[in-house]
Amino acid sequence: NNTIEQTGRNGIQLTRNSYVHISNNVIRNNPRNSIEVQDSRTRIGGSLDEPPQPAPNLIEGNGGHGVVVSRGSIARINGNTIRNSGQNGIFVEKLSHADIGSNIIEGNAQNGIQATQNSGVNLGADTGAGLEQSPNSTGTPNGQYGIDLSLGAYADGRLGSLTGVNGQRRYTTDANDSLLPADLPPSPTSIRFDPTSVRPAGSFTATVSGANLSAQTYFDIRFLAPDSTTDAVALNWQQGTSAAHTIPADTPAGTWTVTGVRAHRESGDHTGPFAPILASFTVTR
């Protein structure tokens, strides 16, 4: 039940074989990491009851990582809100391990979770609905991926809705990704235009959000031209979740409305249904 903010360094630091249970705190706006664990063990959120009950921490707006688990440390991170960090929501490195379940991990500048250097994470469990078994979730997507694995790291459990603007997960060939389900289909949920008003020969950026999207995902759009009542379709209109588009000089003025988006991993696969999504931009003269 503490509020720990604007410390000048980390919010909480554990080192030299410490053990600490951190619950029901607000840890925010510290210039470095919210919680840094080195050579130690910790439980972050969740009571000491068996089975554990919610005891959430709010970890937000810190300049570095939300939680760092480093140098052979072990952490159980359950039921917290970890958001708007300047780097990763949770960073696990250097032969460390973390059980991470039932957290809201969102809006962090890099990944929701990053594990590296022979470290491992369990994202809840393959089944179950308890505090330690349930997967993590995301409202506002993280800046890169839901989870990023590299340099011999591993992950197991369920992805839930954990995601970033580039998709749910990224891993190098030396990492071990056993997350279930093994091959989630790309699923767009919204599209945003910036700016929403543009002149011919000008440009705008289209950003698609959703689950299991990446820089390799292709997007078809279904749309209505100004003064038209019949949908048209543009195949492979964009690759990647964010891309710039130039308006041809002869484009008719008026409001152009996207009525659906279809995502696919292969450029020639246009067999899936369109997700019903409404968004518009205006061409002005």
Q: Which of 182, 147, 144, 173 is nearest to 162 (CA)?
A: 147
- Per-residue pLDDT, averaged over 13-25, amounts to 96
Is residue 182 pLDDT above 50, yes or no?
no
pLDDT at 184: 63
Q: State how far Cα 260 lies from the chain centre.
A: 23
Is residue 180 pLDDT above 70, yes or no?
no
Label residue 108 exposed, middle or buried (CB < 10 Å: 0-12, 13-18, 19+): buried
Is residue 216 pLDDT above 80, yes or no?
no
Cα 261 from Cα 267, distance rounded (Å): 15
pLDDT at 145: 93
| Beta-ladder partners of 91 | 68, 114
The confidence band for 109, taking pLDDT boundaries of 50, 70 and 90, is very high
Percent of the chain with pLDDT over 70: 98
pLDDT at 121: 97
DSSP string for residues in 36-89 = EEES-EEEESS-SSSS------EEE--SS-SEEEESS-EEEEES-EEE--SS-S
Q: Which amino acid is it at 48?
A: L
| Beta-ladder partners of 109 | none
pLDDT at 50: 85
- Per-residue pLDDT, averaged over 83-106, amounts to 98
The answer to whether residues 141 and 210 touch, using CB atoms and an 8 Å cutoff, is no
Between 269 and 257, the more confident residue is: 257
pLDDT at 9: 94
pLDDT at 175: 82
Is residue 95 pLDDT above 90, yes or no?
yes
pLDDT at 70: 98
State both tokens at 220: 């078809």
- Per-residue pLDDT, averaged over 157-172, amounts to 89
The confidence band for 127, taking pLDDT boundaries of 50, 70 and 90, is confident
Q: Which of 159, 181, 29, 38 is nearest to 103 (CA)?
A: 159
Is residue 136 pLDDT above 60, yes or no?
yes
Cα 91 from Cα 68, distance rounded (Å): 5
Cα 279 from Cα 74, distance rounded (Å): 45
pLDDT tens readout for residues 46-73: 998 888 999 999 999 999 999 999 999 9
Is residue 225 pLDDT above 90, yes or no?
yes
State the average pLDDT for the chain: 93
- Give the count of beta carbons closer than 10 Å to the beta carbon of residue 247: 17
The confidence band for 210, taking pLDDT boundaries of 50, 70 and 90, is confident
